[in-house]
Amino acid sequence: MFGDYSTAELMSIFAMQGFAGLSLFSVFVLMALGLAIIFGQMGVINMAHGEFMILGAYITYLVSNLFSNYLPSLFSAYFFVAMLCAFIAAAALGLLVERVMIRHLYKRPLDTLLATWGLSLIMQQTYRSVFGAREVGVSLPEWMMGSLHPTDSIEIPINGIFVMVLTLFISLAVYYWMYRSRSGGNVRAVVQNRPMAAAVGINTQRVDAFTFALGCGIAGVAGSAFTMIGSTGPTSGQLYIVDTFLVVVFGGASSLLGTIASAFTISQAQSSMEFFMSGSMSKVLTLLAIVIILMLRPQGLFALRMRHH
């Protein structure tokens, strides 16, 4: 396969391929983080996760239109405003959903699955009624669409770097919040032992609502970022949901570190296999490997030992 190429060509291809793998890794982490928080910390399987992401994408679309119509001079910076708005909108909707629906279902995990699936259908149809069934095109500032040329033959997509930096930032922020802040400590306390956490004065209901809203908010930011690499339509969220669940379940539902490790494993396996064989075949092999590993290790890669409430 490589006989005809010079060493320099091969080096640049491997460098770009290495970057492709890392960029897939950050995409996986970004889309799985919100789900992992909700699933891992609350045991709620949020089937509408993809739709919360697309909410972020639509918010980005609206903000980009707003900027190009009213503030064209600031267009190149609109994306940061859009991500903030996406976070706020998705988190607010998450809060509402938690208060109205999810909190009545905490003792019935299977019902949350059905309820959030129904919610995903409602959200899809709402997008279709509001924005139309066709995909919308989110126009991006020119600087985000180019590529960097460290050497003549290596091209590194800027949007890939952007997603990486964003993922790193959000992961660190979540880590800091979970392990260094008081409210993160409250969340971990509720996960480990709900009655005891309540007994020492933690408002567990408020913690639940906050956690769910945070997970949804992160999904919104992810959706906003993905307008750079993917489509924005009423059902686009469905494109991400399978991979997202795969990453979370494979990583071990209750561990954020597991989510990151699993995203790394899956993305590296997939992107290197994609390079040597066809896309569909590499997907088949990735899924097969995951099924076998989960059969041998049903709790996923990392599992925290914890007391169940």
Partner 1 sequence: MFNQHPSASPHRPTCAFKLTSTATFKKLSLFVGSALISAMSLAAPSTSEINTTGLAVSDSTVKVGILHSVTGTMAISETGSVQAEKLAIEQINAAGGVLGRKIEAIQEDGASDWPTFAEKSKKLLVNDKVAAVFGCWTSASRKAVLPVFEQYNGMLYYPTFYEGLEQSPNVIYTGQEATQQILAGIDWVVKEKGAKTFYLLGSDYIWPRTSNKIARKHIEKLGLSVVGEEYYPLGHTQFNSVINKIKLKKPDVIYAIVVGGSNVAFYKQLKAAGIELNKQTLLTISVTEDEIQGIGGENIAGAYAAMKYFQSLDNDNNKAFVKAFKEKWGANVVIGDVTQAAYLGPWLWKAAVEKAGSFDIDKIKKASPDIELKTAPEGYVKIHPNHHLWSKTRIGLAQPDGQYKVVYETKDLMEPNPFPAGYQ
Q: Note whether 171 binds partner 1 by CB under 8 A.
A: no
x/- map, 181-220, partner 1, by CB under 8 A:
----------------------------------------
Q: Which of residues 21-40 bind partner 1 (CB under 8 A)?
A: 23-24, 27
Q: Note whether 9 binds partner 1 by CB under 8 A.
A: yes
Name the minimum Å distance from CB 239 to partner 1.
4
Per rule CB under 8 A, count of chain residues that contact partner 1: 51
Q: Under a CB-based contact definition with an 8 Å cutoff, are residues 141 and 77 in contact?
A: yes
Which residue in the block uniquely carries the two structure tokens 């003792």?
107
Radius of gyration of the chain (CA): 20
Q: Which of residues 259-278 bind partner 1 (CB under 8 A)?
A: 270-271, 274-275, 278
| DSSP state for residue 135 in the 8-state scheme | P
Q: Note whether 285 binds partner 1 by CB under 8 A.
A: no
Q: Note whether 231 binds partner 1 by CB under 8 A.
A: yes
Q: Note whether 74 binds partner 1 by CB under 8 A.
A: no
Q: Note whether 279 binds partner 1 by CB under 8 A.
A: yes
- Identify the H or E element spanning 156: strand 156-157
Which residue in the block uniquely carries the two structure tokens 């999904």?
219
Q: What is the number of other CB atoms lying within 10 angstroms of the CB of residue 237? A: 28
Q: Note whether 234 binds partner 1 by CB under 8 A.
A: yes
Q: Note whether 291 binds partner 1 by CB under 8 A.
A: no
x/- map, 113-132, partner 1, by CB under 8 A:
------------x--x---x
Calpha distance 122→213 (Å, rounded): 18
Q: Note whether 109 binds partner 1 by CB under 8 A.
A: no
x/- map, 143-162, partner 1, by CB under 8 A:
--xxx-x-----x-xxxx--
Q: Note whether 68 binds partner 1 by CB under 8 A.
A: no
Side chain identity, residue 80: F
Q: Note whether 64 binds partner 1 by CB under 8 A.
A: no
Figure out which of the listed residues 90, 97, 136, 209 binds partner 1, where binding follows CB under 8 A.
Answer: 136
Calpha distance 246→52 (Å, rounded): 18
Calpha distance 254→178 (Å, rounded): 13
Alpha helices in the chain (DSSP H): 7-42, 49-70, 78-100, 109-131, 142-145, 158-180, 182-192, 194-199, 204-226, 238-251, 256-276, 279-296
**CA–CA distances in Å: residue 205 to residues 18, 198, 200:** 44, 9, 14
3-class state of residue 37 by DSSP: helix
Binding residues for partner 1 (CB under 8 A): 5, 9, 13, 16-17, 19-20, 23-24, 27, 125, 128, 132-140, 145-147, 149, 155, 157-160, 226, 228-236, 238-240, 270-271, 274-275, 278-280, 283
